[in-house]
């Protein structure tokens, strides 16, 4: 298996992607080639710093002179900075040089590059980002987490199909239930997008659990949560922020007296268990599903471990042949729809 | 001051609203009359249960035979169940019998009843729910929290104006900063609604802080957060759910060993301080701003304390003459817009 890694992607590049590449090669023997895209001299410098001046022969460096910065406009920067590491990684997938592309860089540029260069899978109208979220007892997929900000009902149907495939193949759930994120459980509750999507999801060959509310996400979770990319992104970032804020407040409150500090020290393993569970590093990255090629997008502030885990996700997606499973699911859905319309007398 | 209270509103009615009415009268001497709307025999029974068979003479009971249930469709139930406590409370405000209406009942029915019977304030296109949210050091207003699920850019502008007035008048912030909830801080980031709203907010006579992200809500807070009602409602419920989930996990982890339990007991005051801060009971209810009358909507699962605090919010809104302040703010915004268009050469 060959993996293309954007060595210039993320707030700490090329340092962290390069270190993650070394770790991934040690951990995943199924990777035959790991191609680093980016400014060659800077990549070589990083390799040297961490004692890999003569790196693993499975590493290959492809020089690209341009770097897309986090503040750049996605489509415009892809046009202006043609020789950039995001576009080149994606093109490697398109041209069969790599089985998957991984980046901790600019999400919007990654989505645009993948959509333009790889195109959508047959039967899929729009790609979406599938993010893994933890509950106390469960993992669920939130889709779309920010690829498509003005979604239409048929896009949400595609997310339901793709999210179900992901949940089955990668997370191992049998018959994953799909919930539509809305503001009440009844089908009449929601905005015009979710009301129309509700009808489509009701008729689709998935395990539709109806509308779910924000409060159900963690207290009464389903396996796949479908929403438009704007809402998904806001939910994701708000969730992170609230979890951080609570731990911060707690820390400040605990520091107020020595007895509280001693108590918290005694209970420290409990805090650690939660921290680990809510730590995005464990999940690493998010698959952009719906494009014709495996693409993993990691957090801009990813640690080495997070990028290594994003590479692991790419490996798993390739091994599980996720895209062919999606194509088949879309075919089944299309046949199902046709059978339904045949069943209705003219 | 006269307050209309929906005695049938909420998951524990009439028990909790009736108990809250008694507490509010004890606490707020400025209330001259508290009118309870609902089924008279059930209200009298509750009063008897808590030893107020002959209640405070400031209490008045107005019998209405119909009750709107939480699962009812808002507009349809208002039409079918004409003599219901929500509509009657709102009509009391319209007819000058009460200065404000408070309900822990069906939010959608309350919004519909207020919009239909009270109409919007001059210069305001659509009402929105203003919810108070706590950060470690601050309180902010999230608006709209769920009144208007398919908002247009001009509605978000109204929310920015009304939220600013609320923040100044009720929370006491000078020059409250207004953030537009989006998925990136640059003005080009967002969906079509937020991009258009960004332009309107930039030109308005408010202290516009630009786009803010979910992660800023608690880590880098502004005083007023503007968003459409669907997003606001999802954010609110997700936030509650995450806070609850974290405390639940922590409890389960702590219960795993006696040492952790002892530690947590030593640090218990720290947990309590956070719990108090994140407890919605403290804030009680949310004002529906933009209608021609003071209307407070409380959580369906409100405790007695939460409903009592919702009544307090109504009292404060009346005392601060919030609606006349909104009318003036809308006039200033209209004049400002006119001055701007005059300044542009034809």
pLDDT tens column, A227-236: 999 999 999 8
Average pLDDT over residues A117-127: 96
CA distance linking residue B334 with residue A211, whole number of Å: 40
Q: Among partner residues A215, A237, A256, which is closest to B214 by beta-carbon distance?
A: A237
Q: What is the mean pLDDT of chain A?
A: 92
**Residues A243-289: pLDDT tens digits?**
888 888 888 889 999 988 988 888 888 888 887 777 666 777 899 99
Chain B contact for A70 (CB, 8 A cutoff): no
Contacts of A210 by beta carbon, 8 Å cutoff, 6+ apart: A179, A180, A185, A187, A198
Which residue of B267, B276, B301 is the best one to mutate when testing the A interface, meaning the one whose CB has the most A CBs within 10 A? B267
Spell out the per-residue pLDDT of chain B, length 346, in tens.
999 999 999 899 899 999 999 999 999 999 999 999 999 999 999 999 999 888 889 999 999 999 998 888 888 888 899 999 999 999 999 999 999 999 999 999 999 999 999 999 999 999 999 999 888 788 999 999 999 999 999 999 999 999 999 999 999 999 999 999 999 877 778 999 999 999 999 999 999 999 999 888 888 889 999 999 999 999 988 888 888 888 888 888 899 999 889 888 888 888 888 877 776 667 778 999 999 999 999 988 889 999 999 999 999 999 999 999 999 999 999 998 888 877 665 5
Per the CB < 8 A criterion, the answer to whether B119 and B127 are in contact is: no
Interface size A-B, in CB pairs within 8 Å, comes to: 201
Please tell me the predicted confidence (pLDDT) of residue A280.
66
Q: Do A136 and B214 touch (CB under 8 A)?
A: no
> Before B144, cis peptide (omega within 30)?
yes
Please tell me the predicted confidence (pLDDT) of residue A215.
84
Q: Among partner residues A150, A192, A262, which is closest to B150 by beta-carbon distance?
A: A192
Q: Do A274 and B253 touch (CB under 8 A)?
A: yes
Q: Which residues of chain B have a CB within 8 Å of the CB of A139?
A: none
**Residues B150-188: pLDDT tens digits?**
999 999 999 999 999 999 999 999 999 999 999 987 777
Please tell me the predicted confidence (pLDDT) of residue B244.
82
Q: pTM value?
A: 0.90
Q: Do A234 and B239 touch (CB under 8 A)?
A: no
Q: Do B231 and A236 touch (CB under 8 A)?
A: no
CA distance A23 to chain B (A): 30
Q: A 243-302 residues with CB below 8 A of B?
A: 243-246, 248-250, 252-254, 256-257, 259-271, 273-274, 277-278
CA distance A273 to chain B (A): 7
Residue A244: is it exposed, middle or buried by C-beta count within 10 angstroms (0-12/13-18/19+)?
Answer: middle
Please tell me the predicted confidence (pLDDT) of residue A142.
96
Please tell me the predicted confidence (pLDDT) of residue B345.
59
Which residue of B109, B188, B217, B237 is the best one to mutate when testing the A interface, meaning the one whose CB has the most A CBs within 10 A? B237
Chain B contact for A239 (CB, 8 A cutoff): yes
Q: Among partner residues A135, A231, A243, which is closest to B234 by beta-carbon distance?
A: A231
Query: Quick count: other Cβ atoms within 10 Å of Cβ A15?
Result: 17
Predicted ipTM > 0.85 = yes
Residue bearing tokens 């909790």: B16
**Residues A184-209: pLDDT tens digits?**
877 778 999 999 999 999 999 999 99
What element of type H or E holds B78? helix B74-80
Average pLDDT over residues A320-327: 94
Cα dist from A67 to A39, A45, B91, whole Å: 8, 17, 63
Query: Quick count: other Cβ atoms within 10 Å of Cβ B342?
Result: 9
Per the CB < 8 A criterion, the answer to whether B303 and B15 are in contact is: no
Q: Among partner residues A136, A183, A230, which is closest to B183 by beta-carbon distance?
A: A230
Residue B289, both tokens = 């701003």
Residue bearing tokens 């239930």: A177
**Residues A142-176: pLDDT tens digits?**
999 999 999 999 999 999 999 999 999 999 999 99
Please tell me the predicted confidence (pLDDT) of residue B344.
62
Please tell me the predicted confidence (pLDDT) of residue B281.
67
* DSSP H helical ranges for chain A: 15-27, 40-49, 74-80, 85-94, 107-118, 153-169, 192-203, 216-219, 229-254, 258-266, 268-277, 304-319, 322-343
Please tell me the predicted confidence (pLDDT) of residue A129.
97
Which residue of A151, A225, A242 is the best one to mutate when testing the B interface, meaning the one whose CB has the most B CBs within 10 A? A242
Average pLDDT over residues A329-334: 92
Please tell me the predicted confidence (pLDDT) of residue A345.
59
Please tell me the predicted confidence (pLDDT) of residue B276.
77
Q: Among partner residues B135, B261, B266, which is closest to A259 by beta-carbon distance?
A: B266
Chain B contact for A192 (CB, 8 A cutoff): yes
Q: Among partner residues B194, B238, B278, which is closest to A239 by beta-carbon distance?
A: B238
Please tell me the predicted confidence (pLDDT) of residue B54.
85
CA distance B44 to chain A (A): 33
pLDDT beyond 60 at A346: no
Please tell me the predicted confidence (pLDDT) of residue A250.
86
Residue B13, both tokens = 């009615």
Residue A220, both tokens = 């009464």
Chain A contact for B137 (CB, 8 A cutoff): no
| Closest residue of chain B to A253, computed from CA coordinates | B270
Please tell me the predicted confidence (pLDDT) of residue B337.
87
Contacts of A243 by beta carbon, 8 Å cutoff, 6+ apart: A278, B242, B246
Q: Do A266 and B271 touch (CB under 8 A)?
A: no
Chain B contact for A49 (CB, 8 A cutoff): no
**Residues A25-68: pLDDT tens digits?**
999 999 999 999 999 999 999 999 999 888 889 999 999 999 99
Please tell me the predicted confidence (pLDDT) of residue A109.
93
Q: Do A262 and B262 touch (CB under 8 A)?
A: no
Q: Which residues of chain A have a CB within 8 Å of the CB of B278?
A: 246
Looking at chain A, the whole-number percentage of residues with pLDDT higher than 70 is 98
Per the CB < 8 A criterion, the answer to whether A182 and A189 are in contact is: yes
Q: Among partner residues B262, B269, B270, which is closest to A266 by beta-carbon distance?
A: B262
Q: Among partner residues B71, B191, B249, which is closest to A150 by beta-carbon distance?
A: B191
Cα dist from B299 to B292, B305, B333, whole Å: 22, 12, 32
Residue B264's Cα: distance from chain center in Å? 34
CA distance linking residue A186 with residue A196, whole number of Å: 13
Q: B 107-126 residues with CB below 8 A of A?
A: 108
Per the CB < 8 A criterion, the answer to whether B44 and B60 are in contact is: no
Which residue of B214, B229, B258 is the best one to mutate when testing the A interface, meaning the one whose CB has the most A CBs within 10 A? B214
Please tell me the predicted confidence (pLDDT) of residue B280.
66
Residue B150, both tokens = 């398919």
Looking at chain A, the whole-number percentage of residues with pLDDT higher than 90 is 69
Q: Do B235 and A234 touch (CB under 8 A)?
A: yes
Q: Which residues of chain A have a CB within 8 Å of the CB of B300?
A: none
The length of chain A in residues reads: 346
């Amino acid at each position: 298996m060959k993996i293309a890694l954007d060595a210039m992607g993320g707030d700490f590049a090329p340092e962290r992607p390069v270190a993650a590449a070394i770790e991934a090669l040690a951990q995943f023997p199924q990777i035959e080639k790991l191609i680093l895209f980016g400014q060659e001299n800077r990549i070589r410098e990083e390799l040297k710093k961490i004692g890999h001046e003569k790196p693993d022969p499975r590493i290959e460096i492809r020089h690209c002179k341009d770097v897309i910065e986090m503040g750049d406009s996605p489509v415009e920067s892809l046009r202006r900075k043609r020789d950039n590491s995001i576009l080149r990684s994606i093109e490697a997938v398109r041209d069969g040089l790599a089985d998957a592309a991984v980046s901790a860089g600019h999400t919007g540029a990654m989505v645009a590059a993948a959509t333009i260069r790889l195109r959508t899978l047959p039967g899929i109208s729009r790609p979406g980002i599938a993010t893994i979220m933890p509950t106390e007892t469960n993992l669920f997929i939130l889709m779309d987490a920010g690829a498509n900000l003005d979604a239409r009902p048929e896009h949400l149907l595609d997310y339901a199909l793709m999210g179900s495939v992901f949940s089955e193949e990668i997370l191992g759930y049998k018959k994953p239930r799909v919930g539509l994120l809305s503001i009440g459980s009844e089908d009449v509750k929601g905005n015009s997008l979710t009301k129309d999507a509700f009808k489509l999801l009701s008729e689709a060959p998935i395990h539709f659990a109806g509308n779910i509310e924000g409060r159900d996400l963690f207290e009464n979770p389903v396996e796949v949560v479908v929403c438009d990319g704007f809402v998904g992104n806001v939910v994701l970032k708000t969730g992170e922020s609230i979890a951080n804020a609570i731990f911060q407040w707690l820390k400040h409150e605990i520091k107020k007296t020595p007895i509280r500090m001693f108590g918290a020290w005694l209970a420290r393993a409990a805090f650690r268990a939660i921290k680990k569970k809510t730590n995005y590093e464990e999940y690493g990255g998010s698959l952009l599903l719906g494009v014709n090629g495996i693409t993993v997008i990691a957090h801009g502030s990813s640690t080495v471990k997070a990028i290594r885990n994003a590479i692991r996700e790419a490996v798993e997606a390739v091994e599980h042949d996720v895209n062919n499973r999606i194509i088949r699911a879309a075919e089944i859905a299309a046949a199902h729809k046709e059978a339904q319309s045949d069943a209705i007398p003219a």
